[in-house]
Structure 1
Amino acid sequence: MTSPLGTHDAIILGAGAAGMFCAAMAGQRGRRVLLLDHAEAPGKKILISGGGRCNFTNLGTAPDRYLSANPHFAKSALGRYTAQDFLALVERHGIAWHEKTLGQLFCDGSARQIVELLLGECAMGGVTIQLGASITDVDHADGHFRVTTSKGVAEAPALVIATGGPAIPKLGATGFAYDLARRFGLKVVEPRPALVPLTLGADQALFRDLSGVSTPVAARAGKASFREAALFTHRGLSGPAILQVSSYWKHGESIAIDFLPEQPRGWLREAKRSEPRLGLRALLNRQLPDRLATTLAERIALPSELGNCRDALLEQAEAQLAGWRFTPNGSEGFAKAEVTVGGISTADLSSQTMEARKVPGLYAIGEAVDVTGWLGGYNFQWAWASGWAAAQAI
């Protein structure tokens, strides 16, 4: 016979970034909060993030760096709890940090420092944390939610869904948030893997011979373009630029890679005039890794010396290098995805409070919601901002 977990002001499902932060902020507002998770330890995804150093926010956070069926939804929460707000909390806890490229902030030490920060804030708020609690049922009647778990039953007038999406199932991620949302009549935008390596078919197998080669590129999918590194793998394409465009890529579409984004228009014609006896491979080898330069030159197949090439042929080669088309046959799926695109529909939630419009007292935050940030700390900032917004309303 399991013991009851008692009555609280709010029950928060999921001890990840959003759930712990929401619990802490609500607890510090005087609310009696129970934080539940089926895992035996909190913040598992935090611990592996940023190569173990947790890219905890981004100074460039703005609503246009998030994907959602409603691109305006994130504005309110992001505007009310900012990257500077979380950075101030990090500094209050004495955590040393550094900025990498593009506004990305990391711990100098370990991602565990962020988990300890969140647990410390929960302790300040008197939050009750119950781990290893598998949820078997959730009921709602008379303005109260009743959550039945393997550790007992809990009740509260507020229930917060913070169980994330199905990305990285080996850490215990599931689609539980969506099942629960649907049960309460909330719509779910079809989830798909995001920030994920893309795979190439046999027709582009030549590029698999480049496995391990990385180079700065500009990658495009639809209207989205990112200038970061791309990495060739034995299965296809990865690296920051590819992970970024993967969130925008849809099955059947191609992506375009500019292998020399720094080069001005007409640079091959200029090279022909200044060094007519130079070959394309030797020219590319000055700017790209050797194996990549060789492969691209072989594919383009210009005459051996630039001086023997017509200008029109050089323009064609230049265009090919600036927009090399790859048509992925898929991605490496949720197993390798950092986050999920899609989730609980923002049309059914208040952008001010994250509360379900049709179910008073029910909230959804973090990755469970159809708001997905770029690579580089944006998804953590959404976790903090959405968690904070819900905490103010509980």
Structure 2
Amino acid sequence: MLSFTQSISTCPRAVKTTVKRTSKVSLAPKAVIHENITSLIGDTPVVKINKLAPDGVELYVKCEYFNPLSSVKDRLALAVIEDAEKSGKLKPGMTVVEATSGNTGIAVAMVCAQRGYPCVICMAEPFSIERRKIMRMLGAKVIVTPKGGKGTGMVKKAEELAEKHGWFLTSQFENEANWKFHEKTTGQEILRDFSGKNLTHFVTGYGTGGTFHGVAKALKAKRPDVKICLLEPSAAPLLASGTKTERKPSGAPVGSHPAFTPHPVQGWTPDFIPLVLESGIDLHDELIPIDGPDAMQCAKDLASKEGIFTGISGGATFSGALKVARSAPKGSSILCMLPDTSERYMSTPLYDQIQADMDESELEIAKSTPSFQLIPGQEPILQA
């Protein structure tokens, strides 16, 4: 191992002014050969926050973008496909269909590509263009549904297609294999990583509710002192409203929840309360609303101040963790989930202020030496 220590001075917006960091670089990593891409799913790293954590509190993030297709939904996809194969519901050659905001669709498309199943994904119009392209790159067919139909619309379309064509519907919002896989993997990873260490709070948002339900169940069984903090957008307070979702016999929603309004946290809180979430709802200790602008800013701060590259949902979860940290007792240790990578959000408002062209400060740097200048309105300079 090669170790080195450095002091880092931070910008004025950072909470702490100096961070002492020791890094270890492995010079001879152990060689591991994987039989297929799905064996890389899970066992994601926990990373300590150095500059953005309030004084007196330890703050950690679990980086789910280390999964092979860069999101926590890789776990869900493997769980539901393997469960369906074992039960006989999914047979060789069958088409797999799902409704998704994107990450589940990408994950399902990956597993289907690896296992040889045709894949059809239904996704509502507002979700990012990048996600459609990634799914198509993985060989899936993507059916875009009108934004007026919201999340329930894309779910109904997937149900219709499954019924008409005899396809296997993964039913991510109702499928118990979803949360059970998180109990068996994500929850156990956290228990292992914090074995003998202080952990006072676990913080997560919800899409299907699988991460929350499974991890909370694992923690409550072994570390019942850990407080489970569940987050939802302030613009869509479905749980806070106290109004339940009306369901079909399958557990799928009958219609849109009356408390839902559109929000910017893609992957969080569809326009109904998922059955996977509802069936574990008693496991949470606190419900915290998150504002969209705070989610955006936290994603940017994690990138620019910690080098941690996550999307809007990751920013939203970190915003919730900061809220918990500011009111938690000194000595608290807080872990939150970062569901995916920032690259999936480049066509969303998260990147509205991130320009492709050089700004004035960058142009000044470019002009500070004479060669290789590309200044707007001027002929390119190669050699001075």
What TM-score results when the alignment is normalised by the length of structure 2?
A: 0.29
What TM-score results when the alignment is normalised by the length of structure 1?
A: 0.28
Which has the larger strand fraction? 1
Larger relative contact order (CA 8 Å, sep ≥ 6): 1
Specify the structure having the higher radius of gyration (Cα): 1
